[in-house]
């Protein structure tokens, strides 16, 4: 299976971020192999219970308000574990709602008209309430590149923010199977990841297995020969069920 090469693609795209992809040890890590004779891939599922405790401890290096501040400032000294705590910790916050509908009509209109100043205001507004949304950060990178230039400080910072969020998700697996599924905290991130890699979905299926929920997304023919991508969405399903009292 070629999905394991996705990590290499991200590394090539963000050479300056290569250190982020050197994964530290995690208490829930396990090793598995993709095909006989291939190298093993480490899957590090997020430990939400531990993450929730640490991001709410003021003395902790993972205290959420401080991680948010550093992420928004594009702090390049954030470690992979701090990035994981920031991204997955968002799903343990009281205001977490994985299926909230963003009011992005104004953003879409600005993008269609290539009104980059208006688009920048709209995307910044969305990210104030949804700071880890990978798809929105991809839009931000595009908007800033057109508004300020591809090598401007603002654009470089936006590119960095995309990279660190991707590194959090990629630290959980390679998306090639249920066992190695990418753990995401909302559906929008699934489509942000596919957009980043240039994949086009053809069909989406919800699969339940051993207490876990997965989105299995079939892909159009692509240069990597990938047929499907797996996302673990257990956390968002559980949160949604809780919201609606299921």
CA dist., res. 131 & res. 110, Å (int):
20
- Residue bearing tokens 């079939």: 218
Taking the C-alpha atoms of residue 162 and residue 217, their distance in angstroms, rounded to an integer, is: 22
Residue 80 near residue 24 (C-beta atoms within 8 A): yes
Q: Which two tokens stand for residue 17?
A: 């971020």
Tell me the C-alpha to C-alpha distance, in Å, between residue 202 and each of 142, 187, 198, 218: 25, 15, 13, 5
Name residue, tokens 């600005």.
110
In this model, does residue 197 exceed pLDDT 70? yes
Measured CA to CA in angstroms, residue 62 lies from 96, 174, 224 at distances of 18, 25, 36
What pLDDT shows up at residue 44? 86
Does position 100 have pLDDT exceeding 80, yes or no? no
Q: Give the least confident one: 16-25, 64-73, 107-116, 177-186.
A: 16-25
Give the CA count within 13 Å in the CB-facing half-sphere of 26: 24
What pLDDT is attached to residue 33? 35
Mean pLDDT of 217-246: 88
């Amino acid at each position: 299976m070629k999905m394991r090469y996705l990590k290499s693609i991200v590394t090539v795209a963000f050479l300056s971020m290569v250190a982020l992809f050197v994964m530290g040890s995690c208490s829930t890590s396990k090793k598995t192999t993709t095909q006989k004779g291939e190298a093993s891939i480490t899957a590090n599922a997020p430990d939400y219970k531990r993450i929730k405790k640490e991001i709410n401890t003021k003395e902790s290096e993972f205290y959420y308000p401080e991680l948010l501040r550093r992420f928004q400032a594009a702090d390049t000294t954030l470690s992979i574990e701090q990035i994981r705590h920031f991204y997955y910790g968002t799903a343990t916050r009281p205001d977490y709602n994985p299926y909230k509908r963003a009011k992005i009509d104004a953003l879409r209109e600005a993008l269609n008209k290539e009104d980059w100043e208006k688009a920048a205001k709209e995307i910044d507004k969305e990210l104030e309430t949804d700071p880890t949304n990978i798809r929105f950060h991809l839009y931000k990178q595009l908007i800033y590149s057109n508004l300020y230039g591809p090598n401007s400080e603002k654009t470089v910072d936006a590119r960095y923010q995309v990279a660190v969020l991707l590194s959090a998700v990629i630290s959980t697996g390679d998306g090639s199977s249920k066992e190695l599924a990418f753990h995401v905290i909302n559906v929008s991130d699934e489509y942000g990841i596919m957009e980043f890699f240039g994949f086009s979905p053809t069909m989406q299926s919800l699969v339940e297995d051993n207490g876990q929920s997965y989105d299995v997304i079939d892909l159009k023919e692509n240069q990597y020969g990938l047929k499907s991508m797996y996302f673990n969405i257990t956390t968002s399903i559980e949160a949604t069920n809780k919201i609606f009292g299921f």
